[in-house]
Structure 1
C-alpha cells in the first residue's frame, strides 16, 4: 500500500517539475524578447553626413549650427572654411562637397556657369566695417581716417569678397566726392597687405600687426571684441552684401544637403545667424 502511494507521489512531483520547467522556458523567452526590443529601441540611427564649403566669415555661426543640426536632425556636418574664391576653385577641381555657401553672389554665379550648381538661395546679408585695433594710438572714426600718416591697414585681396567690397566702396567714395584723389591715394598707400581670407585680416589686427582692417561686422565676435573696435562708415552701408547657398550637383547626399539649407533659411539656423550679427529675413 505504501509502495502504491510512493508511486503516486513521485508521479505528481514529476508532473509538477515538467510544468515548472515549461513556465520557466516561457518566461525566459519573454525576457529575451523584451531585452531584444529594448536594444533595438535604444539603438541610434547612423547620422547623415555632409561636407559644407563655406565662406570664412561664417565660421562661428556655422559651427554652432552644426551642433544643433546633430541634435535636431541627426546630420553630421564637416566644414571647409576659406575665401569664397578659393572654395570655388576647389569645387571646380572636383573637391568633395555637398553644399556651398558664399560671401558674395559673384562666386556663386561662377560655379553656376561652370555647371556645379543649378540654383542658389540668399540666406543672409552682412555689413562691411573697419575693425580698429584698440591698442593703436591712431584715431580712426571713418573711411577718410585710413589715409592718415602712419596707419597700417590690412584689407582683403580684390579676388576675395571682403576685398572686392572694400575697393568698390573706395572707388564709389572717390566718385561721389566723399573723398578726394589725394585721400584715395593715401589710403591705398597705407595698405600693408591684401589677404586671401577675412579671418587672416582679423588675426593681424587682433595681434596688433595693423592699426585697422576692413572686415565684416560679424567678424568681431566674443573672442576678439576686447581687442577690436567697430567703426562704421556711410560708404560701406551702401554696399549690398548677400550670402547665397546651394546644393552641389555632384553631391551624393542631396537630401541631407537640402535639410541643411532648409535649417539655415527657415529653421533654428536663422536665429543663430542673427545672433552672430547677420541680417536675415
Structure 2
C-alpha cells in the first residue's frame, strides 16, 4: 500500500531533520499496520487506537467530532496526487469534455476541497 511508504517517508524526513532514532521509536509504538487505508478510520472512531497517520480526505466533517486532525508540517509531509485520465477511445467526447471542465472548474474544485482534497 503506498500509504505505508508515505508514512515511512514522513517519519524518515523527521528523523533526517535532527531527530536521531525517531524512526525506531515511532515504529516501536506501531501496534497494527493495515493493508488498506479505509480500515484505519473505524479503528480510530471506535477508540481502538490512540492515533494514526491518515489521508486528510478520508476523515469527513462528521468524523471530526471524534477525530482531531493534526496537520503534518509541509517540510515532512508527502503529498499523494490523484491524476485523472481520459481514454482516447471514449465514444462520448462531449461528456468527457464536460466532465473535465467540471473537475477543473470552480464547482468541481469546491467539491474536492469539501471532501478534504487539496487542489493544485
Same fold at TM > 0.5? yes
Secondary structure in 1 matching 2:69: strand
Q: 1:174 aligns with which of 15, 22, 45?
A: 15
1:214 to 2:53 alignment: yes
TM-score for both structures, normalised by structure 2: 0.78
Deviations 1:125-179 (A, max 9, x none): xxxxxxxxxxxxxxxxxxxxxxxxxxxxxxxxxx22x3222111111122222x2
1:184 pairs, out of 19, 23, 31, with 23
Q: Secondary structure at the match of 2:78?
A: coil
User: Could you list the per-position Cα deviations for residues 56-111 of structure 1 after superposition, in whole angstroms to 9, with x for gaps in the alignment?
Assistant: xxxxxxxxxxxxxxxxxxxxxxxxxxxxxxxxxxxxxxxxxxxxxxxxxxxxxxxx
CA distance in 2, matches of 1:225, 1:236: 25
Q: CA deviation at 1:251?
A: 4.7
* Uncovered stretches (5+) of structure 1, i.e. residues with no partner: 1-158
Contact 1:247 1:258 in 2 (8 A): no
Backbone CA RMSD of aligned residues:
2.5
Q: Residues 235-246 of structure 1 correspond to what in structure 2 (within 5 A)?
A: 238-246=77-85
Structure 2 match to 1:163? 4
TM-score, scaled to structure 1: 0.38
Aligned residues: 120
In structure 2, stretches of 5+ residues that fail to align are none
Q: Which residue in 2 is equivalent to 1:228?
A: 67
Quote the residue 2:111 is aligned against: 272
SS in 2 for 1:192: coil
SS of aligned partner of 2:53: strand
> What do residues 18-77 of structure 1 show as CA deviations (whole Å, max 9, x unaligned)?
xxxxxxxxxxxxxxxxxxxxxxxxxxxxxxxxxxxxxxxxxxxxxxxxxxxxxxxxxxxx
Inter-partner Cα distance in structure 2 for 1:235 and 1:180: 20
- Residue 210 of structure 1 and its aligned partner are, at CA, apart by 1.0
SS in 1 for 2:10: helix
CA distance in 2, matches of 1:190, 1:252: 52
CA distance in structure 2 between the partners assigned to 1:274 and 1:242 by the alignment: 14
